[in-house]
Structures are given as C-alpha cells and as structure tokens.
C-alpha cells in the first residue's frame, strides 16, 4: 500500500485533500510542511500533500520557500478543495464566553472580518494547524475557541457554534502532491518553476517573460518572493500552461535559462479539473 504524508494532524484541510487525492493509501500526518517533504525525501512516504495557495490569502509561503530552497522533490499533481471554516468550542460554551480564538494563520486571515465583527475584543492566537487549534482547546481555560473543520470537531469532541464563517463563500485552497518524479504529459498540463537574476538592470524581467510571450506560452501565475540572500533581490515564480516536455515550452524554458542566474523547475502535472 502506498504511503502519503500530509501536513497534519488529522482533521486539517490538508488531510481532506490527501483523502481525495489518494483514498486507498495509508495517510501519515506530519507536523510541518518541511517534515512532509523530508518524509518523502527519506523514503518514509511515497508522496506528500501540502497546501500551496488559497484564493483569499494567496500563496502559502512555507511551501514556496520549500520548493525554491529546501527540496529537490517535484510537483506531481494539484487539486483544489472548497474551504468551510467552523467556530469550535468545548461543550457548553457560548459565543459570549469567547475571549481567545486559536487557529492556523491562514485560517485566521480567511476569517478576519468575521472575527472583527463578532469578537472584536478576543485575542487571536496562531496555532500549527486548524486541527491543532481544536486539540489545544482541551488544555486551555474557559473562554477559548478555535477555527477548524467539522472533522476536527468530531475528532476532538468540540461543539460547532457556527459554520461557514470564512469571509468569502468562494474560499478554496490549492494543494500539491510532492514526489521524486513529476507527471508524464497528459495534453492538459501545467509547469511550475522559479528563477532569479544576479544583477539588476532595466528590462531584465521583461526580456525573461518575453520568451514565453513570443512562443505563445500562457503564464497563468506570476509572483515574486525574497531570495533570502540580500535585501532587494527577488525570486520569480511562474505557473504556465503546458508540460516541460512539450517542445515549445521546453524551448522557452531553455531560452529563459540562458538569461538568468538560477532556474529551477518544480515539475509538470495535470491541470486540476473540478471533480478530477
């Protein structure tokens, strides 16, 4: 039986993504995104599922930094799941009793307006995950609540005081499966990569991105992150339509490689289709 590591513990949205991705696999939770990648790299798991982007809060920086600096693993698959956040509390607690709210920083950000409107005086405390926040309620004094999943409420014996508390009903998160190899071409693929420059002069980025425009390769996402080497230096991250083995995409990537200091391909994988 295949083993799939995921950013846990049980009761997180990443567990839900892993269950959807590999329902027949043995799922193994790990306490951080880096630990998931390490488990795959060391052979303790065949693949690892981690969050990479949320429709409200944007990219998951820990995953991007891991792909850029921390691993040689490749993206094999992507999937998108809707996010429904719930307000969880120990049995018998009322909303008027809540003085502290725990959750993962991404979840807290996705419910920012709800918290400000309903609990303007509550302390907001980050947790390692939404499930860890629910579990933490067992150890906290009265007045503590958490933002988490319905499954977390069931696992940790909490009551659901409110459902669907995310600020935007269209809230979804994209997850990726990391492995030692990426996916072969399917005809409907994406490729992700990063690059950066050693110098800085006008037109550098324009020329680099122009390699894709000239070949009519569609860039579906462009963003930047600090290189973590010096202030003012950035790594650029691209998602593009097509597989790295497609002749036109491969040509564009090689042309880009000649212009930049470092280029790292994160992998090619099937584009997510709803229900697929």
Which pLDDT tens digits describe the chain residue by residue (276 residues)?
899 999 988 999 999 999 999 999 999 999 999 999 999 999 999 999 999 999 888 999 999 999 999 999 999 999 999 999 999 999 999 999 999 999 999 899 999 999 999 999 999 999 988 999 998 898 876 899 999 999 999 999 999 999 999 999 888 999 999 999 999 999 999 999 999 998 888 889 999 999 999 999 999 999 999 988 877 789 999 999 999 999 999 999 999 999 999 999 999 999 998 644
Tokens of residue 37, six digits? 């990648």
Residue spans of the domains in the chain: they are: 3-83+171-179, 86-163, 189-267
Residue from 51, 52, 2 nearest 28 by CA: 2
Q: Is 184 helix (H, G, I), strand (E, B) or coil?
A: coil
**What backbone torsions phi and psi does residue 149 show, to the nearest 5 degrees?**
-100, 165
Among residues 7, 13, 30, 175, which one is catalytic?
175
Which residue in this structure is represented by tokens 């429904």? 84
Contact 235, 194 (CB under 8 A): yes
* Two structure tokens written together for 249: 């995409």
- Domain 189-267 fold: Alpha-Beta Plaits (3.30.70)
**Of 197, 201, 203, 194, whose CA–CA distance to 223 is shortest?**
194
CB 175 within 8 A of CB 79: yes
Q: How far from the centroid of its chain's Cα atoms is residue 174's Cα? A: 6
Distance CA 116, CA 170 (A): 20
173 labelled catalytic: yes
CATH topology identical between 86-163 and 189-267 = no
Residue 164 phi, psi dihedral angles, 5° rounding: 60, 45
For domain 3-83+171-179, the CATH superfamily is Periplasmic binding protein-like II (3.40.190.10)
Which one of the listed residues 71, 173, 191, 227 is annotated catalytic? 173
State yes or no: is 175 an active-site residue.
yes
Closest residue by Cα to residue 165 from 93, 125, 116, 132: 116
* Element of type H or E holding 1: none
Report the pLDDT value the prediction gives residue 274, as an integer from 0 to 100: 65
Residue 118: count of CB within 10 angstroms of its CB: 15
Q: What is the pTM of this model?
A: 0.87
Q: Which CATH superfamily is domain 86-163 in?
A: Periplasmic binding protein-like II (3.40.190.10)
pLDDT of residue 143: 93
Alpha-carbon Rg for the chain in angstroms: 20
Q: What's the CA gap between 97 and 95, in Å, rounded?
A: 5
Q: What is the distance in angstroms between the CA of the first residue and the CA of the last residue of the chain?
A: 22
């Amino acid at each position: 039986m295949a083993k799939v590591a995921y950013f846990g513990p049980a009761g997180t949205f990443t567990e839900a993504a892993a269950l959807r991705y590999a329902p027949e696999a043995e799922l193994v939770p790990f306490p951080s995104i880096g630990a998931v990648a390490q488990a795959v790299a060391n052979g303790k798991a065949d693949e690892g599922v981690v969050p990479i982007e949320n429709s409200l809060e944007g990219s998951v920086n820990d995953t991007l930094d891991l792909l850029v600096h921390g691993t040689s693993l490749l993206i094999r698959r992507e999937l998108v799941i809707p996010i429904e956040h719930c307000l969880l509390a120990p049995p018998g607690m009322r909303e008027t009793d809540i003085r502290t709210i725990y959750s993962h920083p991404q979840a807290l950000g996705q419910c920012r307006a709800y918290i400000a409107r309903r609990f303007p005086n509550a302390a907001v405390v980050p947790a390692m995950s939404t499930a860890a926040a629910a579990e933490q309620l067992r150890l906290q004094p009265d007045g503590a609540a958490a933002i988490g999943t319905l499954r977390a409420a069931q696992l940790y014996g909490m009551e659901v005081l409110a459902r669907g508390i995310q600020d935007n009903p269209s809230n979804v998160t994209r997850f990726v499966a990391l492995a030692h190899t990426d996916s072969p071409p399917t005809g409907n693929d994406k490729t992700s990569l990063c690059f950066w420059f050693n110098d800085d002069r006008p037109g550098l980025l324009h020329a680099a991105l122009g390699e894709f425009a000239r070949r009519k390769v569609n860039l579906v996402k462009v963003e930047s992150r600090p290189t973590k080497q010096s202030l003012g230096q950035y790594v650029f991250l691209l998602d593009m339509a097509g597989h790295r083995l497609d002749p036109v995409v491969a040509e564009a990537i090689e042309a880009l490689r000649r212009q930049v200091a470092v280029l790292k391909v994160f992998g090619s994988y099937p584009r997510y289709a709803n229900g697929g």
